[in-house]
Structure 1
Amino acid sequence: MVRTFFPRNRGFNVRASCIKSVSGTRVEDDSSTLDSSRMAYGRFLLPNMFYHSGHASLKFTVSRRELSSQADASSTKDQDDLEDGFSELETPAADSEYGKDEFNDIKDGEEPREELEFSDTEVEPSEKKVRRRAQSEIFKLIDSSPTTSVHVLMDKWVEEGKELSRQDIALAMVNLRRRKLYFKAFQLSEWVVSKSQLEVTERDHATRVDLIAKLRGLHEAEMYIERIPESFKGETVYQTLLASCVAQNNLKKAEETFNKMKDLKFPLTSFVWNQLLLLYKRHDKKKIADVLLMMENENVKPSPFTYKILIDAKGQSKDIDGMDLIVEKMKAQGIEPDIRTKAVLVGHYKTAGLEKKAEDMLKEMEGENLEENSWLGRYLLPLYANLGKADEVGRIWEVCQASPRIEDCLAAIEAFGKLKKIDEAEAVFEMISKRWKLSSKNYSVMLKVYANNKMLAKGKDLIKRMAESGCQIGPLTLDDLVKLHIQAGEVEKADTILQKAIMQSQLKPLIISYIAIMEQYAKRGDVHNSEKILHKIKQAGYTIRLRQYQILVQAYINAKLPAYRIRDSMKADNVFPNRDFANLLAQVDGFRKNPASDLLD
């Protein structure tokens, strides 16, 4: 079997091989190369959009193009730093794996995922007003009975002869997922499939695949697919599995799923390619050009979400000119950047020191009449705060508080916290606590303010208040609690809190919680505890990346100790050093010889 693969290459320059057909297969002719800086990439790819230095080649087969990943020994430090998802657009891996009945929301600055009718991240906020306010009667029933099994509630619903419609079930599912009540959503989907009150569709099975992946992991989701009747094992089910692999940052499993879809001859829509782009934006951005070229060969046009990914990838690479060119190309295709995309642009302009461009974009986002579009406040408030524009934050909040929504209020708390206006942040928090029943996510925003401003006592009081209100402490709140203690210099206490949470509630912490603690141990040169945290990350089921070994090696360097078995450990974890890390690793190589040892030998 001949495989198509993404080779180990550098940069965004695409070396597109001439393809010749020989005896039913295609072979690569290295005598002809096409530089991407001159390449007219169909009707939609900007000629030099992903041009850098170096080259990449692609090999094709007639039957299929499969993907395989081998860690690149020459990948840059910037790429390695992205793997845990710390960009303006991204959320950490496995954020979605919350425990039963946990309804923490995704962290601020989440990466909008393009999902299969499971979310509305691609809908302009102004168009969501009706949908956001809509709640099904079934959702109200489930939400008002948090301790009762959904199966019991739904059986009673049917016994009482109440109407059961596909629309109400779908809306209930949307509401449950939006609140991150994944276990309840899973119970509802299980009831729908098992009770046969409604005609079961492939989408019902796809929904279960997604929820199983979130709650029980990808392996269980795959096992469920094996049990699905063949008539329901369609494109939607596998697209859902692919999206789940990407959401959990599982590169190997995502590529296997993509290849499976190729084998099954499912159509490769822009949704499928966007999943790959998301994956490689995090793990190996030089492969983005390869994916785009393959999209062109498959005659798949980019969606607005495709452009959004490319914009963020260029911004992360600090190529602002390239990012602006993508925006121009996007507009030339008749696609206007939405509010989320503009927010990403603002963030990258700010990071690049282009504050004037950032402010101009914010004014464009605001438009002519903020009073009529006050929902924009949730985006504008934290962005202006990032620029240190206290007057603008105050002005926008004055408009929003005339008719506040909870999203606007949370954005105001975040913004005032960034500006170190703690009294103002607390005033907004007290206001929403009187108007709404607060969730863990709501408390988490205020807790983050205290953590970032090293206000340990107030943070502890807020946690007690949160527990008294009946809110559960989930992964996001736990992460804020960990960082609250780290900011106060209480690293051991943060470590203890993390371990207690795991023991008491079988909670799976976010990987960034582990990394935050590991970094503090490494700064101290505490090799023992750094290695212990690395082991805990493995136990939690996370894939070990180069970033974790970078931290561990720094612990050895700070402790001035040799690391004898670290290369073997990296090999076992399928982690390969890049050039910068190889130089770092040499400093702790216990078997390295120096001029003095040569003389003594």
Structure 2
Amino acid sequence: MESKLFRKITMQSAIASRFYYTSRTRKPTLYNKISPIGSPSTSVVPELEDWVYKGNKIRVAELQRIIRDLRKRRRFTQALEVSEWMNKNGVCIFSSTEHAVHIDLMGKVNGYPSAESYFNSLKEQDKNNKTYGALLNCYARQLQTDKALSHLQKMKDLGFASSPLSYNDIMCLYTNIGQHEKVIDVLNEMQKNKVLPDNFSYRICINSYGVRSDIDGMERILNEMENQSHIVMDWNTYAVVANFYIKARLTSKAIDALKKSEERLDKKDGLGYNNLISLYARLGEKTEVIRLWEREKSDCKRCLNRDFTTMLESLARLGELEEAEKVLKEWESSGNCYDPQIPDIVITGYTKKGLHEKAEAMLKSLQKRGKATVPKSWIVVAGGYLDKGEMENALQCLQAALRVQNKGWKPNPNVVSGIISWLGDKGNAEDLEALVGTLRNVVPVNKQMYRALLKAYIRDGKEVDGLLDRMKKDNIDEDEKTKEILDMRKA
């Protein structure tokens, strides 16, 4: 599979999304009514209908801007609703551009069969390179290899495959299904058909060699790319190359690639800084990590939560947790919205170093200041105490995790099992009952919980008949281990 870094900084091609609109018209009123509707499941149609009902004008450019913005924020269902509303109400006669956007959105929301059906319903004059390309993108994105290749051949026959975008779709398809060796064949075909590869074409090929640990092949493609007169080398290509050099433990080559990447970095590109910081952290280059962070703060003026996250993760990787605490304080005073996942990075870093008391102190400090914590943080600390045999502390942290649990969260089963076993052997029945009662809302009760309860009941001299009845209601049968525990009453 392709590297995480490659997916993160290069798969922003047609596979990820195609943005056909270029209008910069600013008519914010309707936009400001729709944009704040954050939940992707909330329909935007009522807002559109209300806008018309109140006698406001509908401007095509503004609707296009809304669709573009919704797509950028991955609110595809809402974007499709706006596009469908435009089409249904005859707001404008759809050009091939609008049709292409609509096909792309239908593919993302309803799957390629829906996009395919819409494409087939178009008039022949609307079936051009844009709409054909949009459908090809749907096929490739949903890994429909045969359909994608057949469709590309039709595009070639019709003269619609004259740009690198269509070939890039096929390269991404081969990358995503793990057939990296076929990517270079697509590049060769492009060049044979006199289609000039773009930066993304070369970057996919570089990745195809890198994931196969073919450094020579990667360098050969990089050299070819550097010598193309129509190519302007970019920071992310060298970052991808650096990533594979790091994996191959070619440190000096990696640093050289990172320097070339930094030379091409836009001063205000926080994403670029983040990637370079992460790569230098993997190399263990603390000085470079801190230098780039200071440069990012100076150039970008304001750092987002994602920037603080990257820096904290990098410092945690380096084991520089005191430095991380300084950055955490910078974040707290930045005015950015609070995100409990950010302090969790430092908390987790401390637990990995065995400093569970410090991690717990940070959690308690957050609580004291009225800041939310995440159950994962408490469970990580609980696990650390469990490993050290500090069971009382482990129990307290598990209880804290259960108090701040969120929907869908599940505690680490090893932590739960260890604490339940300890309470069964040494705890009292009331404490164990309370814990199991709370856990019941998060995970299904199991045999181990009932075995522990039986042990605690018997040790405390309590009757177990009611407990055995509850076992039956929970569809948990008595087994040999259960019978052995019950025999303890006779001892």
Band the TM-score falls in, shorter-chain normalisation: 0.5 to 0.7
Cα distance in 2 between the residues matched to 1:160 and 1:357: 63
Residue in structure 2 matching 1:216, options 110, 117, 139: 110
- How far the C-alpha of 1:353 sits from its partner, in A, is 0.6
> Is 1:270–1:300's contact at 8 Å kept on the other side of the alignment?
yes
Contact in 1 for aligned 2:60/2:91 (Cα 8 Å): no
Deviation at 1:450, TM superposition (A): 7.2
Q: 1:140 aligns with which of 9, 32, 38?
A: 32
Question: Against the structure 1 CA distance between its residues 446 and 256, is the aligned structure 2 distance closer, same or farther, given a 3 Å change threshold?
Answer: farther
Deviation at 1:226, TM superposition (A): 3.1
Q: Which residue pairs with 1:63 in the alignment?
A: none
Question: Is structure 2 residue 89 aligned with structure 1 residue 89?
Answer: no
Instruction: Rate the CA distance shift 1:362–1:488 in 2: closer, same or farther, 3 A.
Output: farther
Of 394-403 and 330-339, more deviation after overlay is shown by: 394-403
The one-letter amino acid of 1:140's match is: N
What SS class does the counterpart of residue 267 from structure 1 fall into?
Answer: coil
Q: Give, in angstroms, the shift of residue 203 of structure 1.
A: 2.0
Query: Distance in 2 between the 1:303 and 1:379 partners?
Result: 22
- Relative distance call for 1:397 and 1:199 in structure 2 (3 A) is same
Q: CA-to-partner distance for each residue in 1:125-176, whole Å, 9 max, x for gaps? A: xxx9xx9xx9955443213234663112123333445454444333322322
What is the CA-CA distance between 1:351 and the residue it aligns to?
0.6
Q: 1:419 to 1:409 in 2, by over 3 A?
A: same
Report the equivalent of 1:55: none
Partner of 1:405: 303
- Could you say which residue in structure 1 is the equivalent of 2:315? 416
1:378 aligns with 2:274: yes
The answer on whether the counterparts of 1:382 and 1:411 sit within 8 Å (CA) in structure 2 is yes
Q: Which structure ranks higher in relative contact order (CA pairs < 8 Å, sequence separation ≥ 6)?
A: 1
The CA distance in 1 between the partners of 2:288 and 2:248, in whole Å, is: 21
Deviations 1:531-572 (A, max 9, x none): xxxxxxxxxxxxxxxxxxxxxxxxxxxxxxxxxxxxxxxxxx
Match of 1:342 in 2: 238
Structure 2 equivalent of residue 314 of structure 1? 209
Larger radius of gyration: 2
Query: Would you say the 8 A contact 2:235–2:263 is kept in 1?
Result: no
Partner Cα distance (1:435, 1:254) in 2: 47
Aligned counterpart for 1:200 among listed residues 67, 86, 94: 94
Do the aligned partners of 1:139 and 1:176 also contact (CA within 8 Å) in 2? Answer: no
Match status 1:460 vs 2:375:
yes
1:233 aligns with one of 116, 127, 131: 127
Give 1:369-518 correspondences, 5 Å limit. 376-402=272-298, 403-406=301-304, 407-421=306-320, 431=331, 435-437=335-337, 459-460=374-375, 485=412
SS at match of 1:180: coil
Counterpart in the other structure of 1:353: 249
Query: What is the CA-CA distance between 1:364 and the residue it aligns to?
Result: 2.7
CA contact (8 A) 2:191 2:197 kept: no
Deviations 1:102-132 (A, max 9, x none): xxxxxx4562223698359xxxxxxx9xx9x
Matched pairs, number: 368
The corresponding residue for 1:62 is none
User: Structure 1 CA distance, aligned partners of 2:341 and 2:150?
Assistant: 36
Cα distance change, pair 163–218 in 1 and its aligned pair in 2 (3 A): same
Residue 417 of structure 1, CA deviation = 4.0
Taking structure 1 as reference, are residues 355 and 298 closer, same or farther at Cα in structure 2, changes over 3 Å only? Answer: same
Q: Return the letter of the residue paired with 2:37.
A: S
The sequence identity of aligned pairs, in percent, is 26
Match of 1:113 in 2: 13
**Contact residue 115 and residue 138 of structure 2 kept, 8 A:** no
The change in CA–CA distance for 1:262 and 1:398 in structure 2 (over 3 A counts) is closer
The equivalent of 2:433 in structure 1 is: none
Relative to the length of structure 2, the TM-score reads: 0.62
Structure 2 vs 1, CA of residues 242 and 333 (structure 1 numbering), >3 Å: closer, same or farther?
same
The separation in 2 between residues aligned to 1:336 and 1:322, in whole angstroms, is 21
* Amino acid in structure 2 at the alignment position of 1:405: C
CA separation of 1:287/1:395 partners in 2, compared to 1, >3 Å: closer, same or farther? Answer: closer
In 1, the alpha carbon distance for the partners of 2:208 and 2:67 equals 32
Q: Measure how far apart 1:485 and its partner are.
A: 4.5
> Is the CA contact (8 Å cut-off) linking 2:236 and 2:261 kept in structure 1?
no
Give, in angstroms, the shift of residue 222 of structure 1.
Answer: 1.8
Give yes or no for contact 1:378–1:412 (8 Å, CA) kept in 2.
Answer: yes
The partner residue of 1:292 within 187, 191, 201 is 187
Where do 5+ consecutive residues of structure 2 fail to align?
353-358, 364-372, 380-399, 418-440, 443-491
Partner Cα distance (1:261, 1:487) in 2: 55
Alpha-carbon offset, residue 427 of structure 1: 6.8
Query: Structure 2: how far apart are the matches of 1:214 and 1:117?
Result: 9
Q: Spell out, residue by residue over 1:506-548, the C-alpha distance to the aligned partner (whole angstroms, 9 max, x if none).
A: xxxxxxxxxxxxxxxxxxxxxxxxxxxxxxxxxxxxxxxxxxx
SS at match of 1:435: coil
Give yes or no for the alignment of 1:330 onto 2:225. Answer: yes
1:277 aligns with 2:171: yes
User: What is the alpha-carbon distance in structure 2 between the residues aligned to residue 486 and residue 426 of structure 1?
Assistant: 30
Root-mean-square deviation (CA), in Å?
Answer: 4.4
Q: Determine which structure has the larger helix proportion and give its number.
A: 2
Q: Residue 330 of structure 1: CA displacement?
A: 1.3
What is the CA–CA distance in structure 1 between the aligned matches of 2:264 and 2:169, rounded to whole Å?
A: 36
Counterpart pick for 2:142 among 248, 258, 263: 248
Contact 2:234 2:264 in 1 (8 A): no
Tell me, in whole angstroms, the C-alpha distance in 1 between the residues paired with 2:241 and 2:316.
Answer: 22
Shift of 1:258: 2.3
- Identify the residue that residue 395 of structure 2 maps to in structure 1: none
* Change beyond 3 A, Cα 1:230–1:390: same
Counterpart Cα distance in 2 of 1:136 and 1:432: 32
Distance 2:74 2:52 in 1: 25
Checking the alignment, whether the CA contact within 8 Å between 1:137 and 1:168 is kept in structure 2 is no
**Is contact 1:185-1:211 (8 Å) kept?**
yes
Using the TM superposition, give the Cα deviation of residue 349 of structure 1 relative to its aligned residue in structure 2, in angstroms: 1.0
TM-score, normalised on structure 1? 0.52
Alpha carbons 1:206, 1:237 under 8 Å: kept: yes
Change (3 A) 1:391 1:405: same
CA pair 197-314 structure 1, distance change in 2 beyond 3 A: same
| Residue of structure 2 equivalent to 1:505 | none
Matches within 5 A, 1:28-177: 82=1, 85-90=2-7, 108-109=8-9, 111-114=11-14, 118-119=18-19, 136-146=28-38, 149-162=43-56, 164-177=58-71
> Against the structure 1 CA distance between its residues 413 and 135, is the aligned structure 2 distance closer, same or farther, given a 3 Å change threshold?
farther
CA contact (8 A) 1:451 1:459 kept: no
Go from structure 1 to structure 2 and tell me whether the alpha carbon gap of 1:155 and 1:377 turns closer, same or farther (over 3 Å shift). Answer: same
Q: Distance in 1 between matches of 2:158 and 2:266?
A: 50
Structure 2 counterpart SS, 1:89: helix
| Distance in 2 separating the partners of 1:227 and 1:368 | 45
